[in-house]
Amino acid sequence: MSGGPLSAPRAADTERVRRLRSAASDWAGLRVLVTGIAVSGFAAADALLEHDAEVVVVDAREGEAEREKAQLLEVLGGRVHLGPASLGEAPGGWDGYDLVVTSPGWRPDADLLVGAALAGVPVWGDVELAWRLRPEAGAASWLTLTGTNGKTTTVEMTAAVLRAGGLRAAAAGNVGTPLIEAMRHPDAYEVLAVELSSFQLHWLSTDAEASLRPLASACLNIAPDHLDWHGSLDAYAGAKGRVYENTRLACVYSTADPRTEELVRAAEVEEGCRAVGTTRGTPSVGMLGLVEDVLADRAFVAERRTSAAELGTLADLSRDGAPVPPHTVDNALAAAALARAAGVAPTAVRDGLRGFRPQPHRVEQVAEAGGVRWVDDSKATNAHAAAASLAAFGSIVWIAGGLAKGARFDDLVAAHASRLRAAVLIGRDRDEIAAALARHAPDVPVVTVEPPQTGGVEASPEQLPDSLMDAVVERAAALAQPGDTVLLAPACASMDQFTSYSHRGRAFAAAVRRRGQR
Residue type at 21 in one-letter notation: R
CA–CA–CA angle 71, 72, 78 (5° rounding): 85
Measure the CA–CA gap between 206 and 117, rounded to whole angstroms. 14
Measure the CA–CA gap between 344 and 349, rounded to whole angstroms. 7
Measure the CA–CA gap between 383 and 398, rounded to whole angstroms. 13
DSSP state of 425: E
| Residue 413, strand partner residues | none
Residue 59's nearest CA partner among 103, 125, 120 is 103
Backbone angles phi, psi at 287, to 5 degrees: -130, 165
Q: What are the strands of the beta sheet with 123-125, ordered from one edge?
A: 79-82, 54-59, 31-35, 99-102, 123-125
Cα separation of the two ends of the chain: 54
Measure the CA–CA gap between 224 and 408, rounded to whole angstroms. 10
State the CB neighbour count (10 A cutoff) for residue 247: 28
Residue 222's nearest CA partner among 264, 276, 258 is 258
State the CB neighbour count (10 A cutoff) for residue 423: 25
Residue type at 165 in one-letter notation: G
Query: Which residue numbers belong to the known binding site?
Result: 147-153
3-state class of 144 per DSSP? strand
Query: Which residue numbers belong to the known binding site for ATP?
Result: 147-153
